[in-house]
Amino acid sequence: MNRTSVITGILLIVLAIILGAFGAHALKEKLEPAQLSSFEVGVRYQMYHGLALLSVGLAASKFSFSLKFFNGMIIAGVIAFSASIYLLAIQGILGTKLSFLGPITPIGGSILIIAWCILLVKVVRTPSNISS
């Protein structure tokens, strides 16, 4: 088990649940449907990556490599992707223009894709142990 991955995954999941409930209840009447939908995308991707980090962390004893870089990439990707979506969705409520965050969202998505590709390469390069 990789304790950092498990703890980070759980924290991302808990925060996604809180933000999802916040979006469904507190923001439902304050956001346009498109903005609420965007907010929900941020929550969904945060939840996916929280669950994935939890799973990878629990399976870490099967890996012969460190997950430190992968963990960092996932955290950075979720912050850039989901947080930028959250802020863009609620910018009207905040009373400020945050359109400069628009380019951050695809950068965050790219970081997530790269993190998963790196993990894939590491797993593929790890010799299989038939007895496991």
pLDDT in tens, 3-49: 999 999 999 999 999 999 999 999 999 999 999 999 999 999 999 99
Concatenated DSSP letters of 76-120: HHHIIIIIHHHHHHHHHHHTS--GGGTTHHHHHHHHHHHHHHHHH
Residue 76 lies in a domain: yes
Question: Which one has a higher pLDDT value, 25 or 127?
Answer: 25
The answer to the question of residue 131 being in a domain is no
Q: Whole-number mean pLDDT of the chain?
A: 95
* pLDDT top residue among 46 and 129: 46
pLDDT score of 128: 76
Spatial distance between the Cα atoms of 12 and 34, rounded to a whole number of angstroms:
24
Local structure of residue 131 (DSSP, 8 states)? T
Within 10 A of 119 (CB to CB), how many other CB atoms are there?
19
130 vs 14: which has the higher pLDDT: 14
Range of the domain at 57: 3-125
Share of the chain above pLDDT 70, in %: 97
Query: Residue 127's pLDDT band (boundaries 50, 70, 90)?
Result: confident
The per-residue pLDDT for 92 is 94
As for how many domains the chain has, the answer is: 1
**15 part of a folded domain:** yes
What's the confidence (pLDDT) of residue 129?
66
Of 68, 66, 102, residue with least CA distance to 84: 102
CA 15 to chain centre: 11
* % of the chain residues with pLDDT over 90: 91
Give, as one character, the DSSP assignment of residue 29. T
> 130 lies in a domain?
no
132 assigned to some structural domain: no
Q: pLDDT band at residue 126, thresholds of 50, 70 and 90?
A: confident
